[in-house]
Amino acid sequence: MKFKMILLLFLLALVVSTVNAEGQQTCAANLEAKCDGGSSDGWKGEFFPGISKIKYEGPTSKNPLSYKWYNAEEEILGKKMKDWFRFSVAFWHTFRGTGADPFGAPTKSWPWEDGTNSLAMAKRRMRAHFEFMDKLGVERWCFHDRDIAPDGKTLMETNANLDEVVALAKELQEGNKIKLLWGTAQLFFHPRYMHGAATSSEVGVYAYAAAQVKKALEVTHYLGGENYVFWGGREGYQSLLNTDMQRELDHLARFLKAAADYKKKIGFNGTLLIEPKPQEPTKHQYDWDAATAYAFLQKYGLLGEFKLNIECNHATLSGHSCHHELETARINGLLGNIDANTGDPQIGWDTDQFLTDIGEATLVMLSVVRNGGIAPGGFNFDAKLRRESTDVEDLFIAHISGMDTLARGLRNVAKLTEDGSLAELVRKRYQSFDTEIGALIEAGKADFETLEKKVMEWGEPSVPSGKQELAEMIFQSAL
């Protein structure tokens, strides 16, 4: 009897141990791990076993793996913080970023990487991606087609690879809150796109780009994407001596119109977004900035079909501030999405750094609040770790810092809104247009003869101070 009791207790302890192991599964998902129960793509255990779900701990917290300012469920200015931001993780920078730059080889190799671009490796990255989002508490993601699945020898084989990875992504999305913010086609890396995609001088390349976008639209729709982005990385020129600009712009417009038509044909209701950028890698890109993109859409009758995805680092490369680009898009009804990043003023290329400047984040959120939000768009972290940051936890720290920075920006806008001094300063600056004659001007009913009579009556106008220093003082007091 005693032996039976000991055996029973041993079996019970074994069952409890097995249940706990299955429930916790904390072994590392790397190439050396010896965990049981792996999937067909070689995934075993957790990808981030030493990191638990990131929580809000408040401004006094010293824990780098916690939110100090971003409190997802907290309501500010009538919306929950998570609904103002709709944060999204960019697959390409977070899981395909290598640390390489124009002058140096890759510096990062995550524990789960095997050095290949195989289909099994693509699936393993996708699983890591979803675990990362779950622990970070971010509910949206975005991708380039060629970043999530490898090229095949033919377009048919490439599409089959993409279908297999997308099927896994669909499976991982189901049963949780994670959704696709947007998808896009990578039309700039492959040598076939050396002269551009929709603006290539070769009709075969134009057709191949169309087929690639067709497939990318289909899988974005299949995954429930809320938007689709066009980034014309090589839609521009290096020299006008060998370029027919008119013809290339016409081709680009025809391409975008065909994409809009196909979107409707397959029943995809997401927003189509154009992402302006002035240069790099081309000398001049056709969607230089928000104003240029607006003029292009207006000329070709595409205003009702597209909005803009504004990237802050692209804004500075075009000679503008991010705030300027956001306001240009907003006042023209085109603000659709924001790539939340920044550049280094001492470096001349697109460095895609995480936004950590509180002042700039406050200006960004001023535009977003004035816009009433950016849904169905969001804030996509098109940002990468610095070349020298090589620890897995750096992936979390970078995103936490970026999210906290924008959250502080939103809190600052709430202060400015509650105070009202800045809005009142702007109102007073234009109050002369609130008069009868000002109203006639703004209604388009004041001709030059009428205005000349008023000048004769008034004499030399007095011009009040713009109070720029006061405006800056009010703004800084909220930071």
pLDDT tens digits for 265-313?
999 999 999 999 999 899 999 999 999 999 999 999 999 999 999 999 9
Query: For residue 420, what are the contacts with CB-CB under 8 A and spacing of at least 6?
Result: none
Q: How far, in Å, CA of 166 to CA of 149, rounded?
A: 8
Q: Do the strands 306-311 and 335-339 form a parallel or antiparallel pair, or are they unpaired?
A: parallel
CA–CA distance, 13 with 444 (Å, rounded to integer):
85
CATH number of the domain within which 339 lies: 3.20.20.150
DSSP category for residue 181 = E
Q: How far apart are CA 4 and CA 2, in angstroms?
A: 5
Q: Reduce the DSSP state of residue 283 to 3 states and report it.
A: coil
Secondary structure E strands in 321-449: 335-339, 379-381
| Backbone conformation region of residue 383, classed left if phi is above 0, alpha if psi is from -120 to 50, else beta | beta
**Percent of the chain, pLDDT > 90?**
85
> In whole numbers, what is the pLDDT of the chain averaged over residues?
91
50, part of any domain: no
How far apart are the two ends of the chain, measured CA to CA in Å? 74
**Amino acid symbol at 275:** E
Residues 368 and 446 reside in one and the same domain = no
Among 176-190, 197-211, 335-349, the minimum mean pLDDT is found in 335-349
Structure letter (DSSP) for residue 196: -
352 shares its domain with 445: no
Model pLDDT, residue 31: 53
Listed residue (310, 374, 311, 287) closest to 82, CA to CA: 374
- Tell me whether residue 357 is in a domain: yes
Confidence of residue 2 (pLDDT cuts 50, 70, 90): very low
Q: What is the mean predicted confidence (pLDDT) over 249-256? A: 98
Residues 405 and 431 in one domain: no
**418 pLDDT band (50/70/90 cuts)?**
very high
Q: What is the DSSP letter of 103?
A: T
Domain co-membership, 413 together with 439: no
Strand 271-274 and strand 227-230: the pairing is: parallel
Give yes or no: residues 337 and 273 share one domain: yes
Average confidence (pLDDT) over 105-120: 92
Tens digit of pLDDT for each residue in 306-345? Answer: 999 999 999 999 999 999 999 999 999 999 999 999 988 8
Q: How far is CA 45 from CA 23, 130, 189, in A?
A: 11, 13, 33
- Say if 21 falls within a structural domain: no
Residue at 8 is within a domain: no
Q: How far apart are CA 144 and CA 335, in angstroms?
A: 21
Closest CA to 285 of 350, 331, 345, 335: 350
pLDDT value for 36: 41
Position 347 scores a pLDDT of 84
What are the Cα distances from residue 315, in Å, to 275, 283, 297? Answer: 10, 16, 19
In a domain, 17, yes or no: no
Facing residues of 183 across strands? 143, 228
Active site annotation includes 144: yes
Say whether both 321 and 434 belong to one domain. Answer: no
462 in the same domain as 330: no
Nearest alpha carbon to residue 382 among 330, 323, 347, 338 = 338
User: What is the total count of domains within the chain?
Assistant: 2
DSSP string computed for 13-54: HHHHHHHHHHHH--SB-STT---SS--TT---SBSSTT----
Which pLDDT does position 33 carry in this prediction?
53
Q: Within the chain, what is the greatest distance between any pair of CA atoms?
A: 117
The band of 8, judged by pLDDT with boundaries at 50, 70 and 90, is very low
Indicate the SS3 state at residue 233. Answer: coil
Same domain, 378 and 441: no
Domain identity same for 227 and 191: yes
Q: Average of pLDDT values for 205-215?
A: 98
Chain centroid offset of residue 176 CA: 21
- List all residues 6 or more positions away from 224 whose beta carbon is below 8 Å from its beta carbon: 173, 179, 180
Name which residue leads in pLDDT, 250 or 28.
250
Domain presence at residue 126: yes
Q: Which of 93, 129, 144, 314 is catalytic?
A: 144
Write out the E strands in 246-305. Answer: 271-274, 284-285
Q: Do 175 and 251 belong together in one domain?
A: yes
Helix axes 203-222, 155-173, angle to 10 degrees: 20
3-state helix, strand, coil in the chain (%, to 5): 50, 10, 40
- Residue 16 falls within a domain, yes or no? no
| Listed residues 417, 434, 468: the one ending a domain | 417
Tell me: pLDDT of 15 over 50: no
Q: Which residues pair with 101 in a beta bridge?
A: 104
Q: Which of 368, 402, 417 is the endpoint of a domain?
A: 417
- In this structure, the answer to whether residues 99 and 244 fall within a common structural domain is yes
pLDDT recorded at residue 40: 59
**Looking at 400, 417, 434, which one is the last position of a domain?**
417
Contact 99, 385 (CB under 8 A): yes
Q: Which residues of 431-459 are buried (b: 16+ CB within 10 A; e: fewer)?
A: eeeeeeeeebeeeeeeeeeeeeeeeeeee
What is the extent of the structural domain holding 472? 421-477
Q: Which residue has the tokens 């100090």?
A: 68
CA separation for the pair 86, 397 (Å, rounded): 19
19 located within any domain: no
Residue 246 to residue 258: CA distance in whole angstroms: 18
Q: What is the pLDDT of residues 388-411, one digit of tens each?
A: 999 999 999 999 999 999 999 999
Which of the two residues, 28 and 407, has the higher pLDDT score? 407
- Same structural domain, 451 and 314: no
pLDDT over 70, % of the chain: 91
* Full DSSP string of 150-163: ---SSHHHHHHHHH
Do strands 379-381 and 335-339 pair parallel, antiparallel, or not at all (unpaired)?
A: parallel
* 364 vs 377: CA distance, rounded Å: 15
